[in-house]
Amino acid sequence: MNERFKAIVLNQSGEQFSREIKILDKSFFKNGDVLIKVHYSSLNYKDALILKNGGKLVKEYPHIPGIDFSGQVIESDSANFKTGDEVVLTGCRVGEIYPGGYSQVVKVKSELLLKKPADISSKNAMILGTAGFTSLLCAFAIKAREDLLLGEKVNDVLVTGATGGVGSMSVIILSKMGYKVTAVTGKKDKINFLKELGASTVISRTEMEKENRPLDKALWDGVVDTVGGNILAKAISHTRPSGIVAACGLASDYKLHTTVMPFIIRGVKLWGIDSVMVSKKRREFIWSEVSKFIDFKIIEKYTKTVNLEELLDIFPSILKGEIAGRILVDLSK
């Protein structure tokens, strides 16, 4: 391999924060037992927070961001991986406390890696990325109503922040599971986009921002909430008895103003979704299910591919809610 490679490097000195593309060599990596040639990464909301100013997540500088990647093993000191293995990684605090995927080469601990499923490409693995992985965790949480809790069948599901990465993937997955999906968005021009993904109904975000009552008309068997705050509280109040609300985001607000009434009167379950510290066994299960629930032909139409230079220009847009679909980062470009 070429001993030198390109990466985004973040640095901080006092109040001065910088992000720039640098040429590095393997000596940059202080830990890890598997060296990987990165094929693809993606842009997630957390990535944008880190690229902006570290997002209070990065503890040591200089640092390579990027919370997910797919690629091929170049060198390995682990018995579990050999040169040529195709691998994937999401979460596990890569891109936060460990070097991440915005680099043509990265070195990580072998216990964080998974072998990429043979039925999806390296490119599609990162079109899915952390956003899609999180969406699958949310979908299986909602499906637990009928599978794990042996409750009534799930029919109607609400997805908030539906044009974002997690939201758009959730619409695809939940509709593929056979559920009737209501998508929430503040973007009037994205109604056709959401219906093509599989949404049966699209409602305006303003409907979910109206005054919230502790209990409101029961409308949904399940909810995937990507925004938090008052919209999450409103969704909880509209959840049917024994419904499950999968909460995975806080783009709107990290505070939740509600009461215990939905939980003790309707038996609503608030299921927090953490995509970072997921057990390896569960990560392997989620990746094994990808090809069953993701139609990549649809999502590829709404995926923009960028290189590292373009990524530095585009990442602020996701923080402003201006991106619909997915941003794929091609490390070969």
Q: What's the pLDDT tens digit per position in 9-41? A: 999 988 899 999 999 999 999 999 999 999 999
For residue 53, what are the contacts with CB-CB under 8 A and spacing of at least 6? 17
Cis (ω within 30 of 0) for the bond into 262? no
Provide mean pLDDT across the span 264-270.
96
| Rounded CA separation 203/49 (Å) | 28
Provide mean pLDDT across the span 171-193.
94
Of the pLDDT bands very low, low, confident and very high (cuts 50, 70, 90), residue 137 is: very high
pLDDT at residue 187, rounded to an integer: 87
Residue-level length of the chain: 333
Buried b vs exposed e over 273-301: b needs ≥16 C-beta within 10 Å?
A: bebeebeeeebeebbeebeebbebebbee
Residue 291 lies inside a defined structural domain of this protein: no
- Does residue 1 carry a pLDDT above 60? no
Residue type, 241: P
Cis (ω within 30 of 0) for the bond into 62? yes
Which CATH number belongs to the domain containing residue 33 in this structure?
3.90.180.10
- Does residue 225 carry a pLDDT above 70? yes
Residue 286 lies inside a defined structural domain of this protein: no
For residue 180, what are the contacts with CB-CB under 8 A and spacing of at least 6? 155, 156, 157, 200, 201
Of the pLDDT bands very low, low, confident and very high (cuts 50, 70, 90), residue 214 is: confident
Of the pLDDT bands very low, low, confident and very high (cuts 50, 70, 90), residue 323 is: confident
Q: Assess whether 48 and 103 both reside in one domain.
A: yes
**Residue 167 tokens, joined:** 């939201």
pLDDT at residue 15, rounded to an integer: 84
Residue pair 224/198 in contact by the 8 Å Cβ criterion: no
Residue pair 331/174 in contact by the 8 Å Cβ criterion: no
- Is the pTM of the predicted complex or chain greater than 0.75? yes
| Rounded CA separation 208/215 (Å) | 14
Range with the poorest average pLDDT among 94-98, 149-153, 295-299: 149-153
**Residue 216 tokens, joined:** 């409101």
Provide mean pLDDT across the span 90-104.
95
Q: Assess whether 87 and 210 both reside in one domain.
A: no
Residue 144 lies inside a defined structural domain of this protein: yes
Instruction: Choose one of 231, 254, 272: the last residue of a domain.
Output: 272
Domains contained in the chain, number: 2
pLDDT at residue 314, rounded to an integer: 96
**Could you please report the per-residue DSSP string of 197-238?**
HT-SEEEEHHHHTSPP-SS----EEEEEESSBHHHHHHHHHT
Residue 122 lies inside a defined structural domain of this protein: no
Q: Assess whether 149 and 214 both reside in one domain.
A: yes
pLDDT at residue 38, rounded to an integer: 98
Q: Assess whether 90 and 141 both reside in one domain.
A: no
Q: What angle do CA 212, 215, 216 make, to 5 degrees?
A: 70
Residue 24 lies inside a defined structural domain of this protein: yes
Provide mean pLDDT across the span 253-263.
91
What angle do helix axes 308-319 and 45-53 make, rounded to 10 degrees? 100
Domain containing residue 208? 132-272
Q: Assess whether 75 and 142 both reside in one domain.
A: no
Q: Assess whether 99 and 206 both reside in one domain.
A: no
Based on C-alpha coordinates, what's the Rg of the chain?
A: 20
Query: Across the chain, what does the average pLDDT equal?
Result: 94
Q: Assess whether 45 and 177 both reside in one domain.
A: no
pLDDT at residue 188, rounded to an integer: 87
Q: Assess whether 57 and 182 both reside in one domain.
A: no
Residue 278 lies inside a defined structural domain of this protein: no
**Count of Cβ atoms closer than 10 Å to residue 59 Cβ:** 10
Residue 10 lies inside a defined structural domain of this protein: yes
End-to-end CA distance of the chain: 17
Question: DSSP 3-state helix, strand, coil percentages of the chain (rounded to 5)?
Answer: 35, 30, 35
Provide mean pLDDT across the span 301-310.
95
Q: Assess whether 101 and 138 both reside in one domain.
A: no
Provide mean pLDDT across the span 238-250.
94
pLDDT at residue 212, rounded to an integer: 81
Q: Assess whether 266 and 136 both reside in one domain.
A: yes
Of the pLDDT bands very low, low, confident and very high (cuts 50, 70, 90), residue 116 is: very high
pLDDT at residue 295, rounded to an integer: 86
Which CATH number belongs to the domain containing residue 136 in this structure?
3.40.50.720
Q: Assess whether 154 and 223 both reside in one domain.
A: yes
**Main-chain phi, psi angles of 18, to 5 degrees:** -135, 155
Q: Assess whether 171 and 80 both reside in one domain.
A: no
Residue 246 lies inside a defined structural domain of this protein: yes
Spatial CA neighbour of 282 closest among 168, 68, 133: 133
